[in-house]
Amino acid sequence: MRKWIIDTDTGSDDAVALLLALGCGEVEVLGITTVAGNVSLDKATRNALMTVQVAGAKLPVYPGAAKPLFRKLVTAVNVHGQDGMGDLGLIHPQQKPQQRHAVDYILDTVRAAPGEIELVTIGPVTNIALAILKEPETMRQVKHIWSMAGAGFGVGNTTPVAEFNVYVDAESFAVLLGAGIPLTMIGTDVCFGQAAWDEADMELLEGGGEAARYAVQCNRTLCEFNLRRCGQKIVDLPDAVAMAVALWPDITLDAPACTCYCCTKEQPVYGQVIVNDHSHLLAIESPDAPANATVVRKIDEMQYKNRLNKVLLGMR
C-alpha cells in the first residue's frame, strides 16, 4: 500500500481532502503535518485533529511552520471563517498534537523508508522547503510530491496571476521547484465547473453520516463567499481535487510535463507560477530549461465528484 504524509493548512476544503484520504482505504496515511496558511498554525492543527477525529482515524498530527520563510502570514479567514471551518463551533478535538516538529518528522520518515514516501501538500509548502533546505539529499529520496499549487493554465484566485497556497509563501514554492523531486501540480483551474459541489451535492451529503455532514457544514462560509463572488451556491474544493488526482491516476485526462518558474521578486506578480508546456513555438526558447513538474490540465470532473461523494457517504 502506498505510504503518504499529508501537509495541510487545514481550512474547510483541506478538511474534505483529509476525509477523502482517510476514508477511501486505498493509501496508508502515516501522519499529518500542519502549516500556517488558511489560518494560523494553532488553528490549522486543531482543525486537522478534529477532522481526523470525525474520520474515526488514529494517526499523529505534527505542527510545523507558523509563518512563511520571509514574509508576514496572509490568511484566508474571509473565505473559510475565522476558525477556518465555517465558524459553527465544530472544532473540539480530543487528541493532542505531537511535540516533534513537522520538518523533523518528514525527514525522519523519508530517511527510514527511502523511495517509498509520497507527500501530498494542500497548503503553503513552507514545511517542505525547510526540509529541503535542511537535508536536500534526504528529500530527494521522496517518491513523489502531489501539490495543490498555482493557477495551472488559468488565472489566480488571490491576485490576477497568483493562487493562494503559492502566494502565501512563493519563496518556499521556488525551493520545491528547484529540488529535483518528482512533482505533480494541481492548480485551481481544474477545480470549478462540474468539479465543484452544487446545491444538490450538498443536500445529498447532509443526509449522510457525521463525516459527510461535517464536510458540508465546515464549508458554509466558503459557500457564502462563492455566492457573493459569482451568484451561485457552490463549493469549489481545490484540495480535494488534488487529493483525488493523487489517489486515482485515471481521473487525470491531460497532464503535460512542464517547465515552471515561481515569481518571488516584483509584488504585482508575486506568487505567479509561470507554466511552459513547450507546446508553442517561442521566439526565444531556453535550451537548458528542462521540465520540473507535471501540471494537470484536465480531469474527469464527474468521475472525481462521484467518487468523492461516495467515499464521504460511506463513512460513519
Per-residue pLDDT of the chain (316 residues; tens, 9 = 90+): 999 999 999 999 999 999 999 999 999 999 999 999 999 999 999 999 999 999 999 999 999 999 999 999 999 999 999 999 999 999 999 999 999 999 999 999 999 999 999 999 999 999 999 999 999 999 999 999 999 999 999 999 999 999 999 999 999 999 999 999 999 999 999 999 999 999 999 999 999 999 999 999 999 999 999 999 899 999 999 999 999 999 999 999 999 999 999 999 999 999 999 999 988 777 666 666 789 999 999 999 999 999 999 999 999 8
CATH number, residue 252: 3.90.245.10
Q: Which amino acid is at 249?
A: P
288: CB partners within 8 A, 6+ apart: none
Domain count, the chain: 1
Give the other-Cβ count within 10 Å of 198's Cβ.
13
Residue 289, pLDDT score: 78
Are 51 and 19 within 8 A, CB to CB?
Answer: yes
Which is catalytic among the residues 9, 13, 169, 239? 9
Look up 42 and say whether it is catalytic: no
Is pTM beyond 0.95? Reply is: yes
Residue 286, pLDDT score: 65
| 3-class DSSP state of 256 | coil
Q: How far apart are CA 141 and CA 312, in angstroms?
A: 33
- Structural domain including 127 reads 2-314
Are 167 and 158 within 8 A, CB to CB?
Answer: yes
Reference 44, options 58, 32, 30, 56; nearest CA is 32
Half-sphere exposure of 42 (CA within 13 A, CB side): 2
Grid coordinates given for 117: 514516501
Q: How far apart are CA 17 and CA 8, in angstroms?
A: 10
Residue 216, pLDDT score: 98
Reference 187, options 127, 114, 312, 272; nearest CA is 272
Where helices occur in 34-86 by DSSP H, the ranges are 41-55, 77-80
Q: How far apart are CA 12 and CA 146, in angstroms?
A: 19
Reference 197, options 238, 156, 164, 162; nearest CA is 238
